[in-house]
């Protein structure tokens, strides 16, 4: 009890000390602690904006652009890292000696070199070795132009009728969820097995595709064109984004590969043999016996890797990608001199990201936990 009282007293004294210091210090230089600067014009441009923004927009909008850019690179990174990571993890377990070794070397190289170095290296390769727009490298028959000013690809232009296709897509997903439950019920009662995969695929992809043609193909593409020294039109992935995205995903993929390998190896071979003994086919053994058990081991460390991608995306500042640290924590901070407020916002945003991800993880863990007697 005494220890607790002492701890709390020390803690309170510490907070009192630093806060009173902060107040005196701020008073001496005549700065308050207020967030009103957020509504002043920001006076700087951001090179990648998904929402409307220009230099007359207020600082809070710059922060919002930053948050969206952070989320964009994080989500894109998570998707690519998961795909590559699972692929590498499975290849690492392959019985083929050659591919096994190649993947091993890749994983060890990537894991033992700092992520910042990867980001700078990929950025250097994109900027220094890709050609200028005039001599752009063309891939996929004009669908993708690789230049040192970014990757250019046709931009989809939606006509109003495109909404029907999106609605069809959502209906397809809803139908799949319902159908899965229904199929399980039927299987529990009668033992009849539906081909869930094919029906789901048809509902999610084929159905919107048909709707697309019924609606009269309401989608056109705007192709990038070379005008003067650069491409105009089309969708552009800026070199900073490409470098950050590739470097983060390839870095994290190596960690995910190790997690996947450990997860699959954690399932004892007896499980597979037992499933075979029951006469279950190899494919369904994987699907019904191995993967559900392996996922239980894989998911917790996987979600912490997702969190790592989100946090590592803050290294964007090293190559000039305008994420939350670079906008509100960088340029806005330097322009207004409001270190306290800006850093509070940045820290608060990252904290809420990680609290959300760990809340999700706890919920998932609870759902997946082995229920023992």
Partner 1 sequence: MSSEKSYNVGEHPDLPPPATEVGFIGWVNHNLLSSWPNRIITLLTVYFLYLIIPPLLNWIFLDAVFVADSRDDCRAIANAAGEELGACWAFIGKRFQLFVYGFYPVEERWRVNLSFIMMMAALIPVLFDNVPNRKLGLWYSLIAPVIICWLLIGGLGLTPVPTDKFGGLMLTMVIGVTGIIGSLPIGIALALGRQSDMPALRMVCVGFIEFIRGVPLITLLFVASTMLNYFLPPGTTFDLLLRVLIMVTLFSSAYIAEVIRGGLQAIPKGQIEAADSMGLKYWQSMRLIILPQALKISIPGIVNTFIGLYKDTTLVIIIGLFDPLGMGRASLADTKWQGLSTEIYVFVAIFFFVSCFSMARYSLYLEKKLHTGH
Report the interface residues with partner 1, using CB under 8 A.
1, 3-5, 7-8, 11, 18, 21-22, 24-26, 28, 94-99, 102, 108-109, 111-117, 120-121, 124-125, 128, 311-312, 314-315, 317-318, 325, 329, 333, 339-340, 343, 346-347, 350-351, 353-355
CA distances from residue 203 to 166, 169, 193 in whole angstroms, order as listed: 13, 8, 18
Phi, psi (rounded to 5 degrees) for 230: -145, 170
Shorter beta-carbon distance to partner 1: residue 96 or 220: 96
CB closer to partner 1, 113 vs 288? 113
Q: How far apart are CA 110 and CA 334, in angstroms?
A: 34
The nearest distance, CB 261 to partner 1, in angstroms, is 15
Angle at Cα 114 formed by Cα 109 and Cα 115, nearest 5°? Answer: 100
Can you say whether residue 339 is alpha, beta or left, with left for phi > 0 and alpha for psi between -120 and 50 degrees?
A: alpha
User: Smallest distance from the beta carbon of 243 to partner 1, in angstroms?
Assistant: 12
Nearest distance, CB of residue 206 and partner 1, angstroms: 29
Instruction: State which residue, 121 or 193, has the beta carbon closest to partner 1.
Output: 121
- CA atoms of 58 and 370, how far apart (whole Å): 51
Residue showing tokens 């964007």: 316
DSSP 173-192: HHHHHHHHHHHHHHHHHH--
* Least distance to partner 1, CB of residue 332, Å: 13
Q: Are 182 and 142 in contact (CB under 8 A)?
A: no
Which residue, 180 or 296, is less far from partner 1 as judged by CB? 296
User: Smallest distance, Å, CB 353 to partner 1?
Assistant: 8
CA gap 356, 110 in Å, rounded? 28
Nearer to partner 1, 202 or 343 (CB): 343
Comparing CB distances to partner 1, the nearer of 76 and 168 is 76
* Cβ 138 to partner 1 shortest distance, Å: 19
> Do 115 and 248 contact (CB within 8 A), yes or no?
yes
Nearer CB in complex with partner 1: 94/265: 94
Report the DSSP pairing between strands 144-147 and 230-232. Answer: unpaired
40 or 339, CB closer to partner 1? 339
| 150: β partners | 147
Cβ atoms of 249 and 77 within 8 Å: the answer is: yes
* Measured CA angle at 354 (ends 371, 50), to 5 deg: 125
Shortest Cβ distance from residue 129 to partner 1 (Å)? 9
Q: What is the DSSP letter of 315?
A: G
Shortest distance (Å) from residue 71 CB to partner 1: 14
| Strand extents, DSSP E, the chain | 137-139, 144-147, 150-153, 155-158, 219-222, 225-227, 230-232, 235-237
Q: Strand 144-147 and strand 137-139: pairing?
A: antiparallel
Q: For the CB of residue 106, give the shortest distance to partner 1 in the complex, in Å.
A: 11
Residue among 202 and 340 whose Cβ is closer to partner 1: 340
């Amino acid at each position: 009890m005494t220890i607790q009282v002492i701890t709390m007293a020390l803690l309170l004294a510490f907070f009192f000390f630093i806060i009173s210091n902060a107040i005196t210090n701020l008073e001496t230089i005549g700065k308050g602690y207020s967030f009103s600067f957020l509504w002043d014009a920001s006076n700087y441009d951001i090179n990648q904006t998904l929402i409307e923004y220009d230099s007359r927009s207020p600082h809070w909008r710059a922060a919002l652009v930053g948050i969206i850019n952070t989320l964009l690179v994080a989500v894109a990174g998570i998707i690519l890292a998961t795909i590559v990571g699972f692929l590498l993890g499975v290849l690492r377990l392959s019985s083929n000696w050659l591919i096994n070794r190649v993947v091993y070397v890749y994983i060890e190289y990537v894991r033992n070199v700092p992520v910042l170095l990867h980001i700078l290296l990929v950025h250097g390769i994109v900027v220094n070795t890709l050609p200028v727009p005039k001599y752009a490298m063309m891939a996929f028959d004009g669908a993708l132009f690789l230049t040192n000013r970014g990757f250019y690809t046709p931009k989809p232009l939606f006509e109003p009728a495109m909404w029907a296709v999106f609605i069809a897509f959502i209906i397809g997903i809803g139908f799949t969820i319902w159908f899965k439950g229904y199929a399980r019920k039927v299987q529990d009662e009668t033992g009849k097995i539906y081909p869930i995969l094919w029906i789901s695929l048809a509902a999610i992809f084929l159905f919107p595709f048909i709707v697309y043609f019924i609606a009269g193909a309401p989608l056109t593409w705007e192709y990038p064109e070379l005008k003067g020294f650069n491409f105009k039109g089309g969708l552009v992935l800026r070199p900073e984004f490409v470098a950050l995205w590739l470097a983060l995903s390839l870095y994290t993929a190596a960690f995910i590969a190790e997690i996947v390998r450990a997860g699959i190896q954690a399932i004892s071979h007896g499980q597979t043999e037992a499933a075979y003994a029951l006469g279950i086919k190899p494919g369904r053994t994987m699907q019904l016996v191995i993967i559900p058990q392996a996922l239980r081991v894989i998911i917790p460390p996987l979600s912490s890797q997702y969190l790592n991608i989100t946090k590592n995306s803050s290294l964007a500042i090293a190559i000039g990608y305008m994420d939350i640290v670079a906008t509100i924590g960088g340029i806005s901070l330097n322009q207004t001199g409001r270190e306290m407020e800006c850093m509070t916002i940045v820290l608060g945003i990252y904290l809420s990201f990680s609290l959300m991800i760990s809340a999700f993880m706890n919920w998932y863990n609870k759902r997946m936990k082995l229920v023992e007697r």
